[in-house]
Amino acid sequence: MNRQEKELYNLVKANVKLIQIVSYETLRFHGMLIGVSRELKRDFFIWNRVEGIKKWNAAERFFVAVEDEDDSSNPSFAIDFYKNQKECIFLLEDFYPDLTENPRMIKTFRNIAGENTQNKTLVFSQPFLQLPKELEKDVHILELPYPDFDDLKAIYNKVCEPHNISNSGEPDHELIEAALGLTIMEAEKAFSLAYIENGQLTGAEVPLIIREKENVIKKSGYLEYYHPKETMEDVGGLDNLKEWLRKRGRGFDKSAKEFGLTYPKGILLLGIPGTGKSLTAKAVGNLWHFPLLRLDMGKIFGGIVGESENNIRQALKIAEAISPSILWIDEIEKGMSGISSSGSTDGGTTARVLGTFLTWMQEKTKPVFVVATANNISQLPPELLRKGRVDEIFFVDLPTEKEREEILKIHLKRKGRHPKDFDIKSLAEKSKGFSGAELEEVVKEALFQAYDEEKEIENSHISTAIEKTYPLSHTMHETIVKMRQWAKSRAVSASKDEPEKLEDKGKDVPKLRQESYNNPFI
């Protein structure tokens, strides 16, 4: 028995009257209940509104419909049938509409919970967590996690049988690992499709399994399986952050746990827009060779009561199922922007979603590394800034002159130009106060200008593009100064070099009203 089967067995043996199983995997919990009924020598019945009542025939190993019961698809009949049994496990499938819409049925369940009966358990299953408040104290909830490595290995063996695939040896480890995060039915389909497409099931089919997993993850709507092309060589500067990530990456080694280390939890990257926070998040996936999942906080929130909380739980379960993995949350402050007014404008939904996320961050034991980025510090909930939720908070400032040289070289190389053909040092000096994103746009603008002149790009093209650009450090001068003051005592600098002092060239430039609204320090 695995952990979930053992827990279900103990619940039934302890005479727990009402159990709710939360899972999409019908065949999986059918098998668990069949195993428990066999161990405890009890009859096992299943009811649903389409097929009525069926009884498991242990000798023939299939379900048999209950005979001569024309009304067996009626929910009330199913409950009466259960009451007339002496020793049994009775499963009600997708019964939640009858609970949420029928007050009499709620009272019936409460009466069953209070009955002094032995060796009888009423189980009801559904794909998502939904329970009337009246039953919260009477029902034990059992949520099935995604299949682990051993479960998926069993599915692999099952797929091998009809296709006459020799599985005398161990299956390819990477093939099974690639299916983590899929349900049993999804994994079976993925393995079958991979075999049909290539005629074999080996490590060469890993991309096919990952492709199927991407499709499944996309269906959730709030997670995206991201394939990063970016590497740490594409990130200019940020030496402190790079060194920290290199060291922390070793914390996922098997020997690290034996040494007494725990898995790294994550980092929060705060700072000025366009300074490489998102680029770094993408590069971490390549650095550690972990799957990178992008969580869209905006899509977590749903209109139905309890939907948002369930969405965040499902997203975190998927991230854990395919661990070791990286969970990337870009501009997390925008997803949590309703926290200050939560309770008065959204019924407390944002607060509950945040609470679920923070509790998971604090208590998680699976190797899921969170990389969260934020531009507006003032919109971040204070609970997220506390040490213990994340391993470290890094402040990503504007690049220094040395870092600007690196960034310009990176973007010129990307465009097929050799940095030695340019006066990189003078360009870096001239572009003081420019962010990495602005330097990228400068190179693009210079290329357009050179192409229009039908010339090869020269130093003068880049210099002219710099002169024509009005960087964010001018329009947000006050904000950047205040952010630096805040970060000096509350965060670690992502760069080794001291930040450059900025001239306030934007003080005489008129500001729009919305610029004050967007400035957290005005």
Q: Is the pLDDT of residue 517 over 60?
A: no
Q: Is the pLDDT of residue 521 over 60?
A: no
Backbone angles phi, psi at 148, to 5 degrees: -90, -170
Per-residue model confidence as pLDDT tens digits over 404-454: 999 999 999 999 999 999 999 999 999 999 999 999 999 999 999 999 999
Residue 297 CB coordination number (10 Å): 24
Report the C-alpha gap between 187 and 178 in whole angstroms.
10
Residue 406 CB coordination number (10 Å): 22
**Which residue bears the tokens 């040494």?**
259
List the single range of 13-17, 54-58, 346-350 with lowest mean pLDDT: 346-350
Report the C-alpha gap between 504 and 479 in whole angstroms.
11
Contacts of 432 (CB under 8 A, 6+ apart): 401, 404, 500, 502
Contacts of 303 (CB under 8 A, 6+ apart): none
Spatial contact of 327 and 368, defined as CB atoms under 8 Å apart: yes
What topology is assigned to 401-469 in CATH?
Answer: Helicase, Ruva Protein; domain 3 (1.10.8)
Spatial contact of 171 and 156, defined as CB atoms under 8 Å apart: yes
Three-state SS sequence of 420-472: HHCCHHHHHHHCCCCCHHHHHHHHHHHHHHHHHCCCCCCHHHHHHHHHHCCCH
Spatial contact of 407 and 436, defined as CB atoms under 8 Å apart: yes
Give the pLDDT band (50/70/90) at residue 463: very high
Backbone angles phi, psi at 394, to 5 degrees: -110, 140
Give the pLDDT band (50/70/90) at residue 506: low
Report the C-alpha gap between 440 and 36 in whole angstroms.
62
Per-residue model confidence as pLDDT tens digits over 349-386: 788 888 888 888 888 888 999 999 988 877 777 777 77
Contacts of 32 (CB under 8 A, 6+ apart): 4, 5, 8
Question: Chain-wide mean pLDDT for the chain?
Answer: 85
- The pLDDT score that the predictor gives to residue 425 is 94
- Reported in sequence order, the residue ranges of 283-336 that DSSP labels E, i.e. its strands, are 292-295, 325-329
Report the C-alpha gap between 51 and 63 in whole angstroms.
11
Q: What percent of the chain has pLDDT over 90?
A: 36
List the single range of 199-203, 282-286, 340-344 with lowest mean pLDDT: 340-344
Q: Would the pTM count as exceeding 0.85?
A: no
Give how far Cα 173 sits from Cα of 250, 277, 404, Å. Answer: 21, 34, 43
Average pLDDT over residues 8-25: 92
Of 379, 321, 320, 322, whose CA–CA distance to 354 is shortest?
Answer: 379
Got the DSSP string for 63-106?
EEEPTT-TTTTSHHHHHHHHHT-SSEEEEEET-HHHHHS-HHHH
List the single range of 183-187, 214-218, 382-386, 476-480 with lowest mean pLDDT: 382-386
Residues 58-63: contacts with CB under 8 Å, at least 24 apart: none
- The pLDDT score that the predictor gives to residue 127 is 85
Q: Is the pLDDT of residue 471 over 60?
A: yes
The CATH superfamily holding the domain 232-396 is: P-loop containing nucleotide triphosphate hydrolases (3.40.50.300)
The CATH superfamily holding the domain 3-143 is: P-loop containing nucleotide triphosphate hydrolases (3.40.50.300)
**Which residue bears the tokens 């698809």?**
73
Of 329, 325, 324, 334, whose CA–CA distance to 312 is shortest?
Answer: 329
Tell me the domain boundaries of the chain.
3-143, 149-219, 232-396, 401-469
Q: Is the pLDDT of residue 297 over 60?
A: yes
- CA torsion, points 48, 51, 52, 54, in degrees to nearest 10? -100
Report the C-alpha gap between 233 and 263 in whole angstroms.
25
Is the pLDDT higher at 446 or at 170?
A: 446
Of 329, 326, 395, 323, whose CA–CA distance to 357 is shortest?
Answer: 329
Of 297, 443, 422, 284, whose CA–CA distance to 357 is shortest?
Answer: 297
Go through 327-364 and write b for each residue having 16 or more CB atoms within 10 A of its CB, e for each that does not.
bbbbbbbebbbbbeebeeebeebbbbbbebbbebbeeb
Backbone angles phi, psi at 430, to 5 degrees: -70, -25
How far does the chain reach from its first CA to its final CA, in angstroms? Answer: 61
* Same fold? 3-143, 232-396: yes
- The pLDDT score that the predictor gives to residue 522 is 41
